[in-house]
């Protein structure tokens, strides 16, 4: 029998967080109206539902979920980043106005390339100096806050995290979306705790007596260099992206766009798929060892992989679930997948409630949920196919069905041949991803050996690139639907959940 009480309480917390994105009030000290709506619905359900669903959550559990939803909304609002009184954004003006500053600080990330061909990085600000000739005060003043910096590529070459620099250029306020569905640059930066940008002309490295800080970025760069040594462009960066995720690699935007258009964007994003491959490989190599030994080795592999990918939300979700499975392996106890997923989601959203608005996190959770509740029924419906083929078809179909509402909400388009392409490309993706991980681990010890293993992936990656480009050239490869509203997404998943519960109950009967 399913334990519905904890599930309803967890869902209540998640809905409370989600309500902060609906019907926002204009006053920071008030909660969004939608959070009170969730509270009211929960209270009504506490009196009505137990009369008809006697084996479901009790009245006390419904009430607990209701008030936890309100508490979750308050917690999410409280954790929403706001600029401090000395934040560097206080000096920012409209991008059309002139506001030249030199900002001193420390790099928080490795530089990456923008669509316009510039370098970009995040800077932890320490002081700012006005460079305008007419400024009344041109002395540096202490500031705080994170700054989004773009600069010419020749100015960011060789920069690394932890390095002290001075960036000089135009300090500006990020722009808002002018129409619904457009990219909101201000909201994007605010979600990362940043409230100003700087378009730099010069980046000057500041002298330091301290040695360069060691970190995962060095190991990550070692792997990327090994992949690119003999594979070259664009094969090397594609292998690195399919191993570490595109956020950790300078992957050309034309390649990213091609994979997104073909419906294979998930293969370039570090996610549960990659975590399961890494964990499966480690456990397969140690299958003759004791369960505790397998669990320890798997945990070490997960920690290394999470560190290399840069703590991305979708990877963290999969890693927490992986740790749950390893604990079950060590204790020789069966782990319930749905319960493990819910625990992972709640823990991560307690750690950072703003991750509920991360698109990668949303897609990862819903795709995983879809695989858990829909793959088996679909496989049974495809019993006229060989078992391995039926599974190969059911897996991408289940993930596709459960992510359609989110794809339409965020992007407004659907790849027409995504399911068929995923079926054909999955074996290639597995080979490239596993090969990239193995070559990366070897490269950490022996770079030339890692490059040799990566070179063996040249043919599979070339076939995959050909498949992507061919699919994108077929007429009608995308269906333009337009961005659907949030309430449609909520309604869609309500229907999905109701159908899944009905099928589960019918199976028991």
pLDDT (0 to 100) of residue 245: 84
Q: How far apart are CA 298 and CA 302, in angstroms?
A: 6
The number of distinct structural domains making up the chain is 3
Contacts of 291 (CB under 8 A, 6+ apart): 329, 330, 332
> 360 and 477 share a domain?
yes
Where is pLDDT greater, at 344 or 501?
Answer: 344
C-alpha distance from residue 501 to each of 4, 166, 382, 406 (Å):
11, 58, 21, 21
- For range 467-483, the mean pLDDT: 85
**Of 78, 105, 122, which residue is a domain's last?**
78
* For residue 234, cis peptide bond before it (omega within 30 degrees of 0): yes
Domain match, 326 and 447 both: yes
Full residue range of the structural domain in which residue 265 is found = 219-508
pTM: 0.84
Please give the Cα distance from 348 to 328 (Å, whole number).
Answer: 20
User: Does residue 212 fall inside a structural domain?
Assistant: no
15-34 pLDDT, tens per residue?
A: 888 888 764 444 444 567 77
Q: What is the pLDDT of residues 418-463, one digit of tens each?
A: 888 888 888 898 899 999 999 999 999 999 999 999 999 999 999 9
Q: Please give the residue that has the higher pLDDT: either 197 or 410.
A: 197
Q: Please indicate, yes or no, if residue 210 is contained in any of the structural domains.
A: no
Integer Cα distance of 103 and 143 in angstroms: 9
Whether residue 468 sits in one domain with residue 319: yes
Q: Report which of 65, 66, 93, 73 is spatially closest to residue 5, judged by C-alpha positions.
A: 65
Average pLDDT over residues 203-231: 82
> Which band of pLDDT confidence, cut at 50, 70 and 90, is reported for residue 238?
very high
502 and 457 co-located in one domain: yes
- Residue 211, domain member (yes or no): no
Query: For 130-150, how does the pLDDT look when each residue is reduced to its tens digit (9 = 90+)?
Result: 887 666 566 788 999 999 999
> 283-300, pLDDT tens digit by residue?
888 888 888 998 999 999
What is the per-residue pLDDT across 154-188, written as a single tens digit (0 to 9) for each?
999 888 888 899 999 999 998 887 766 667 888 88
Residues 32 and 131 in one domain: no
187 with 58, same domain: the answer is: no
- Among 45-54, 207-216, 378-387, the range scoring the smallest mean pLDDT is 207-216
């Amino acid at each position: 029998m399913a334990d519905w009480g904890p599930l309803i309480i967890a869902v209540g917390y998640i809905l409370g967080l989600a309500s902060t994105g609906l019907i926002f009030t204009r006053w920071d000290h008030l909660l969004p109206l939608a959070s009170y709506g969730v509270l009211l619905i929960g209270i009504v359900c506490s009196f009505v539902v137990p009369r008809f669903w006697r084996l479901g959550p009790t009245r006390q559990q419904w009430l607990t979920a209701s008030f936890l939803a309100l508490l979750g909304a308050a917690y999410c609002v409280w954790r929403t980043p706001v600029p401090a009184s000395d934040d560097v954004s206080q000096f920012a003006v409209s991008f059309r106005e002139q506001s030249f500053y030199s900002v001193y600080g420390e790099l928080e990330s490795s530089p990456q390339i923008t669509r316009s061909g510039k370098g970009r990085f995040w800077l932890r600000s320490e002081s700012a100096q006005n460079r305008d000739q007419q400024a009344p005060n041109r002395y540096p003043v202490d500031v705080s806050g994170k700054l989004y910096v773009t600069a010419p590529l020749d100015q960011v070459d060789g920069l690394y995290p932890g390095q002290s620099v001075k960036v000089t250029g135009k300090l500006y306020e990020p722009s808002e979306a002018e129409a619904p569905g457009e990219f909101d640059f201000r909201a994007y930066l605010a979600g990362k705790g940043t409230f100003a940008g700087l378009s730099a002309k010069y980046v000057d490295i500041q002298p330091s007596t301290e040695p360069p800080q060691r970190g995962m970025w060095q190991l990550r760069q070692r792997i990327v260099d090994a992949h690119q040594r003999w594979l070259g462009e664009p094969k090397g960066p594609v292998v690195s992206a399919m191993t570490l995720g595109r956020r950790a690699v300078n992957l050309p935007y034309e390649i990213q766009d091609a994979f997104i258009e073909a419906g294979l964007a998930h293969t370039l994003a570090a996610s549960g798929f990659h975590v399961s491959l890494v964990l499966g490989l480690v456990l397969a190599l140690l299958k003759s060892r004791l369960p505790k030994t397998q669990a320890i080795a798997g945990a070490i592999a997960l920690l290394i992989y999470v560190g290399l990918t840069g703590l991305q939300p979708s990877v963290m979700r999969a890693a927490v679930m992986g740790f749950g499975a390893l604990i079950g392996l060590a204790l020789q106890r069966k782990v319930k997948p749905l319960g493990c997923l819910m625990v992972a989601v709640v823990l991560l959203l307690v750690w950072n409630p703003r991750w509920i608005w991360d698109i990668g996190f949303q897609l990862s959770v819903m795709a995983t949920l879809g695989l858990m509740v829909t793959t088996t029924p679909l496989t049974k419906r495809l019993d006229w196919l060989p078992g391995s083929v039926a599974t190969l078809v059911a897996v991408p179909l289940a993930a596709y069905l459960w992510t359609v509402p989110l794809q339409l909400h965020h992007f407004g388009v659907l790849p027409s041949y995504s399911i068929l392409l995923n079926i054909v490309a999955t074996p290639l993706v597995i080979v490239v991803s596993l090969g990239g991980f193995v070559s990366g681990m070897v490269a950490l010890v022996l770079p030339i050996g890692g490059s040799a293993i990566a070179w063996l992936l040249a043919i599979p990656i070339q076939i995959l690139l050909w498949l992507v480009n061919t699919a994108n050239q077929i007429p009608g490869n995308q269906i333009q639907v337009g961005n659907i509203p949030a309430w449609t997404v909520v309604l869609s998943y309500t229907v999905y959940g109701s159908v899944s519960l009905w099928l589960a109950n019918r199976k028991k009967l």
